[in-house]
Structure 1
Amino acid sequence: MSEETKMYEKLLKRVNTLLIMAGCHFDETDAKRTVIQRFSSRRYFCFNMVMLTIHLICDFTWLALEYKRASLIELTYFIPCVTLSLLACTKSYLLVKNGEHVIDLIKSTKILQAISGRFELRTKTERESNKSVTILTAFMNFNLVLYILGYILFAIGPLILTGVLYKSSGKLVMQIPFVAWYPFDETDIRYWPIAYFHQLWAGFFDASSVHGSDSFYSLSCVFLQIQFKTLQYDIEQIIPEETNINTPEFYKSFRKRFMLIVMRHQELIRCVNVLEVIYSKSNLCIIAVSSIVICISAFNFTTSDDIIWRTIFLGFFIMWLLQVFSLCYYSNLISLSSTEVSNAIYNSYWYKANAEVMKDLLFVLRRGQKPCKLTAWGYSDLNLAVFSKIVSTSWSYFALLQTMYSE
């Protein structure tokens, strides 16, 4: 097993641990199951989805009943919380629904790693691979710490608010993490634990499913990018510098290596398309709501006088900003590395070859000039330009809200 495969297995196991907590973990038998069989085999996941659905019903019922009397901070707190829950529901559902594609992607990535590992040691590509994996690991660790701290604050925030209200008014009015309606008085200490632990459960499912799904997306992008880099190196070395290449023996050897490179290139393109199938719909959901959620979180952070509320909204702001950035950044890596395959042809000794070899290389060059893309369900390509546009739009909304609020 190559070093790259070991790193992939290690990080994949870590991602699967997060998804096990939500119930939408990887299962090799999904490749032979129908959609109904995949869901029925995950009873814990179905239970979580039922709990989350009840939670969302309570949230939207509160909005329908209280939106006229609710304060601005309650309404703006409602939006990012519910959006996160809807996103968790969408991501986890699509991950289970596309279970056969997930297993296909994992197996294909491992096969590509095994094929590329047969060649000689590549100091340059291994150094770049280690750097990419190090950055990915650091990013995953930072996100995990952010989610853990956010969940702890989510859990203890209502308790602190309860204590503050009791100290100021002398009345014990219990608080819950989300604003929601229940068929009982959730502020009564006799019934409060039901609502409180129900919302803690929903929050835990939100955090584990969103972070786990995003981590698998980033992991897949990084290791597909590494395979594109390895493919580039092999293309650059396909024509030796000091060999009589215009001989039948060389052409026979060349064709054998060339066909293997073409097959690897085609498989990499297919893997990117599989990743697109798994994530394109959830990507559209994120792109559609990110500007509003980032804007509202920033607005509440700057206008709220309560340190607890400000900390909560700061967490939402950083979390959403990082989520959109990782989505666009890793997609951008795939696009760049896929188009660099054509550059590898230019960097090879193609000018020493005969017309037949040049014709074969031109075939790969023309295909490599067409980038592999990850999109928001075809609505928009995902790259750093899209991230810049989202941040710019969020700033415009934020400036408008600030102006309206000050007036």
Structure 2
Amino acid sequence: MSDRTILKAKTEIYTSLRMITLCMKCLGLSFEDAKTITTYVIQKMKLLLCVSAVCYHVFSDIVYIGLTLSDSPRVQDVVPLFHPFGYSILSIAKGFALWYKRDEFKQLINELAVIWPDPQFDKDAQTIKENALTALHITHQWYSGVNIIGVAFYCVTPIGIYVYDLLLGREAEIGFVWFSWYPCDKRKPLAHILIYLFEVFIGQTCVCVMVSTDLLFSGMASHISMLLRMLQQRLENIGSTEQTDEEMYKDIIGNIKLHQRLIRYCNDLSETFSPSFLVNVVLSSINICCVVFVIVLLDPLIDGSNKLYLSSALMQIGILCWYGDLIIHANADVAVAAYNSRWYRTNPRCRRALLFLIQRAQKPIAFTAMGFTDISLTTYTSILTTSYSYFALAYTMYNKNLK
């Protein structure tokens, strides 16, 4: 590919990832090197502030949970503390992966640009690309919207409860966004305002981390899936055009090389995300269980924010499993496409090459959580089932405490 074509491909890829780059800027991260000293210093200060805030939030959550357990270890007092804590832990894990692996992500984007399709000579490929990019754009918009609206509801919930109590003539006091411990008197007016603003900042930071990492993975996986579908189309057309045996063989070899590059690309992407996937799979069941427990049994006044949290939690792990499953099936369909081609019109040399491609495509490509489980819709079902089991246990303990 020419430099101009690669530059055009990079532009299209970064355009599809614009929501990710915007959220990364809020965190002080970027795939591009800072062009000036001022920009570099601002990025580092943003990153230091975000990391310090989230790390303190996790520490304060741990202290608050410990104090609650020592004072009142009832399930209805402890369970509501775990899903905000789990969300913060997940943010740290994903934020660390995003920061530590940012050079690898940049390299993956550059490699993707090299194999990015230039469909000016192929209208069917253009249609596949346009449909894939449109679907990805809609998915990213919905995911970002739910997460941003969810954290906004959490941030304004204390004010909403305060106004509600005033309207009912009750004694009202503005609370806080999160259950956290602070080494100062939170009831003092200035401390109250500063802590409230600090917790709003924490919520915004965590959402930026989640949106950046999840949309980065879904965007990359969507592009890989798109390229696999284009490969399927090319394979199905083998033998349907007038080509010499040598031209047909070269075409098959080109498809095999493209398939091998996509496999390697998937493996590299899986390796960069694998640790955060493991944390995600472990914590998602707990987070979903705890927020459902709160919605069903405890706090009707903040149902709106908790329901949005539940929606974002389900979407968050769901989007990862969906795109992981998409890759598994897209690779398997490569073998089907090769078999559905007019291979019977080819010579034995071409048939052997196609057989090699079919055998390799029948070996699954899957993103894994450090090798413990594949990221697929089957895993999503397992997470939901585990969440229900945890909820049933918590509900039983809650009923016992009421007796």
TM over 0.5: yes
Say if 1:297 and 1:305 are closer, same or farther in 2 by CA, change over 3 A.
closer
Other structure's SS at 1:141 match: helix
1:295 aligns with 2:289: yes
- Equivalent in the alignment of 2:312: 319
Q: Is 1:173–1:188's contact at 8 Å kept on the other side of the alignment? A: no
Deviation at 1:227, TM superposition (A): 0.4
Moved more, 360-369 or 62-71: 62-71
Contact 1:28/1:103, CA 8 A, preserved across alignment: no
Match of 2:47 among 45, 50, 53: 45
Match of 2:37 in 1: none
Deviation at 1:311, TM superposition (A): 1.9
TM alignment of 1:148-163, pairs within 5 A: 148-163=148-163
**TM-superposed deviation, 1:325:** 1.0
Q: Please name the residue that 1:32 is paired with.
A: none
Q: Distance in 2 between matches of 1:324 and 1:306?
A: 25
**CA shift for structure 1 position 322:** 0.9
Partner of residue 104, structure 1: 107
| Coordinate RMSD, CA, aligned | 2.7
Alignment partner for residue 32 of structure 2, among 6, 9, 27? Answer: 27
1:384 correspondence with 2:377: yes
Residue number among 250, 275, 280 corresponding to 1:281 in the alignment: 275
| Farther-moved stretch of structure 1 (369-378 vs 347-356) | 347-356
Q: 1:78 maps to which residue?
A: 81
Give the superposition deviation at 1:21.
Answer: 1.1
Q: CA deviation at 1:87?
A: 1.0
Letter in 1 for 2:113: K
Task: Tell me the alpha carbon deviations over residues 54-98 of structure 1, each in whole angstroms, 9 at most, x when there is no partner.
Answer: 222222122222323356555222211111111111111111111
- Note the alpha carbon deviations across 1:257-282, whole angstroms, 9 max, x for none: 33322221121111111110121111
The change in CA–CA distance for 1:28 and 1:354 in structure 2 (over 3 A counts) is: farther
- 1:214-293 equivalence runs, <5 A: 214-243=214-243, 245=244, 250-251=245-246, 253-293=247-287
1: distance between equivalents of 2:127 and 2:394?
47
With 53-62 and 163-172 compared, the bigger mean Cα shift is at 163-172
Q: 1:263 to 1:131 in 2, by over 3 A?
A: same
Contact between 2:252 and 2:350, CA under 8 Å: does it hold in 1?
A: no
Give the aligned partner of residue 117 of structure 1: 118
Give yes or no for contact 2:9–2:113 (8 Å, CA) kept in 1: no
Aligned twin of 1:338: 331
> 2:61 maps to which residue?
59
Q: Partners of 2:353 and 2:240 in 1: how far apart?
A: 16
Structure 1 residue 18 and structure 2 residue 12: aligned? Answer: no
- Match in the other structure for 1:33: none
2:176 pairs with 1:182? no
Tell me which amino acid in the other structure corresponds to 1:111: V
Tell me the equivalent position of 1:34: none
Deviates more, 1:266-275 or 1:234-243: 234-243
CA separation of 1:9 and 1:305: change in aligned 2, threshold 3 A: closer
How far off is 1:174 after superposition? 4.0
CA distance in 2, matches of 1:266, 1:40: 41
Question: Structure 2 vs 1, CA of residues 317 and 400 (structure 1 numbering), >3 Å: closer, same or farther?
Answer: same
CA distance in 2, matches of 1:225, 1:343: 15
Instruction: Name the % identity.
Output: 22
Amino acid at match of 2:136: L
Query: With structure 1 as the length reference, what TM-score do the two structures score?
Result: 0.87
Q: Please identify, of 142-151 and 279-288, the stretch whose mean Cα deviation from structure 2 is larger.
A: 142-151
The CA deviation at 1:50 is: 1.2
Deviation at 1:235, TM superposition (A): 2.0
Distance 1:285 1:122, change over 3 A: same
Displacement after TM superposition at 1:5 (Å)? 6.7
